[in-house]
């Protein structure tokens, strides 16, 4: 048996679209996004891959995108993509290679193809980024591949919870009779001190959890506070919007960023809401306030027509912040697995 790994070539579109379909059908069965039921959706995927192949001229790396195809005995049986990104600005913060759409056809599994794909992807990522990258993959809680990643040395560093639109209202009502001591609003100038302290807490939590994607905690200096103030007062609809939940006298106790994203083919076209950088101070009132903030974001998501909201980059399930969301009835959805 010969296993060959190579860049994408014209003609790979059709066999890879079959792999994609296998992957996304499984993904959907584990609670992932709904794929487009239009029979031509995967034909369009095949066309796009073939056009892509022409542009990349069989190179594995094309800008920040890496694409590897696996052949067993001359037949295309699998693939993996990697997206390079830097999530921080600190010189010690490494480039991240986000593993996406890893799949091996079911009749050739357990032959070491995926292991080879990920090892080669790591080499190609390091070469393209000119440094040793951090590999990450988002894995749905229900996906049996979680143990596969563990076997290859990946460990969870962040968790996602997700609520579909059909449950928004139920959860909003659940917290409805809570005393509304907090106001949920867009952050504004004046919040920067509290947000900077919450950001430091978030960075500290990521460091404790060995999440190597982000910058270490920033010292609370005037320049950093000024920069933060500028970010808080920028009205750019394309960047994530920072929100806070604050006491009636204006003290922010919890913060999160919120934005909307359209799902791309082959997924069924729909908008999802994303809430990230959720953090609160460590006291009972702050956790309660974080729940009210989440409810506020649910409302925003509902009004914006989101099919679901994802709370990303959360601490482990036993952490108080995750428990606060759990007790609202927001279920666990995926984990970010990382290999340093
Ligand atoms: C996950 C997947 C890519 C693994 O592909 P594969 O080529 O069979 O994996 P490998 O043969 O390289 O396996 C490497 C090791 O992991 C183990 N392994 C593979 N799949 C496993 C699983 N589901 N659970 C536990 N261990 C697993 C293998 O036994 C092997 O262990 P060994 O080296 O000690 O023998 C494949 O099962 C697949 O395509 N699944 C459906 C799509 C999917 O879940 N993709 C990941 C999306 S995040």
Is the domain 3-153 a CATH 3.20.20.210 member? no
- Mind listing the pLDDT tens digit for each residue in 165-190? 888 888 887 776 555 678 899 998 88
By the 8 A CB rule, do 333 and 140 touch? Answer: yes
- CATH class, 160-339 region: alpha beta
Contacts of 270 (CB under 8 A, 6+ apart): 33, 34, 262, 263, 307
299 Cβ below 6 A of ligand 1:
no
pLDDT reported for residue 178: 56
Return the ligand 1 atom nearest residue 116 CA.
12
Residue nearest to atom 44 of ligand 1 (CA): 145
Domain-by-domain residue ranges, the chain? 3-153, 160-339
Q: Is the CB of 114 inside a 6 Å radius of any atom of ligand 1? A: yes
In sequence order, what are the residues at sequence separation of 6 or more whose Cβ sits closer than 8 angstroms to the Cβ of residue 157? 136, 206, 209, 210, 211, 212, 213, 336, 337, 338
- Give the pLDDT score at 226: 84
Q: Which pLDDT belongs to residue 76?
A: 98
What local confidence, expressed as pLDDT, does residue 177 receive? 56
Q: What pLDDT, on a 0 to 100 scale, did the predictor assign at position 176?
A: 60
316 to 9, 124, 248, 321: CA distances (angstroms): 41, 31, 31, 9
User: Do residues 254 and 263 touch, judged by C-beta distance below 8 A?
Assistant: no
Do the two domains 3-153 and 160-339 of this chain adopt the same fold? Answer: yes
Q: Print the SS3 string covering 129-154.
A: HCCCCEEEEEEECCCCHHHHHHHCCC
**Would you state the pLDDT for residue 241?**
82
Q: What is the distance between the alpha carbons of residues 136 and 283, in angstroms, rounded to a whole number?
A: 32
Q: What is the pLDDT of residue 174?
A: 75
Mutate which of 31, 103, 145 for ligand 1 pocket (most atoms within 8 A of beta carbon): 145
Residues of the chain with pLDDT under 70: 176-180, 237-238
In sequence order, the 6+-apart residues with CB closer than 8 A to the CB of 211 are 157, 158, 336, 338
In this predicted structure, what is the pLDDT of residue 38? 82
Q: Tens digit of pLDDT for each residue in 6-46?
A: 999 999 999 999 999 999 999 999 988 888 878 788 899 99
Ligand 1, atom nearest to 117 Cα:
12
CB 256 within 8 A of CB 246: no
| Tokens read off for 247 | 């006491």
The closest-lying atom of ligand 1 relative to the alpha carbon of residue 137 is 48
pLDDT at 222 (0 to 100):
84
Helix or strand or coil: residue 128? helix
**177: number of Cβ within 10 Å:** 7
């Amino acid at each position: 048996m010969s296993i060959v790994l190579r860049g994408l070539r014209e003609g790979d579109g059709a066999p890879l679209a079959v792999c994609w379909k296998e992957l996304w059908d499984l993904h959907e069965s584990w609670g992932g996004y709904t794929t487009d039921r239009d029979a031509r959706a995967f034909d369009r995927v095949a066309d796009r891959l073939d056009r892509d192949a022409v542009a990349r001229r069989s190179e594995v790396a094309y800008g920040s995108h890496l694409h590897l195809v696996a052949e067993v005995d001359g037949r295309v049986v699998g693939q993996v993509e990697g997206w390079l990104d830097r999530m921080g600005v600190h010189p010690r913060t490494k480039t991240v290679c986000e593993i996406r759409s890893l799949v091996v056809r079911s009749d050739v599994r357990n032959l070491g193809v995926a292991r080879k794909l990920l090892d080669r992807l790591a080499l190609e990522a390091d070469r393209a980024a000119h440094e040793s990258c951090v590999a990450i993959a988002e894995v749905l809680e229900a996906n049996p591949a979680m143990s596969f990643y563990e076997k290859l040395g990946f460990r969870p560093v962040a968790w996602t919870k997700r609520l579909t639109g059909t449950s928004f209202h139920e959860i909003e009502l659940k917290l409805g009779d809570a005393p509304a001591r907090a106001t949920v609003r867009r952050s504004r100038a004046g919040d920067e001190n509290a947000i900077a302290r919450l950001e430091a807490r978030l960075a500290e939590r990521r460091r404790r959890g060995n999440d190597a994607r982000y910058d270490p905690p920033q010292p609370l200096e005037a320049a950093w506070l000024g920069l933060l103030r500028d970010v808080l007062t920028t009205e750019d609809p394309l960047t994530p919007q920072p929100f806070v939940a604050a006491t009636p006298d204006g003290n922010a106790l919890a913060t999160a960023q919120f934005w909307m994203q359209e799902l791309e083919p082959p997924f069924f076209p729909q908008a999802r809401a994303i809430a990230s950088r959720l953090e609160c101070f460590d006291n009972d009132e702050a956790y309660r306030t974080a729940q009210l903030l989440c409810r506020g974001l649910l409302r925003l998501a509902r009004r914006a027509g989101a099919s679901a909201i994802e709370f990303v980059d959360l601490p482990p399930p036993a952490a108080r912040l995750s428990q606060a969301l759990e007790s609202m009835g927001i279920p666990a959805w995926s984990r970010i697995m990382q290999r340093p």
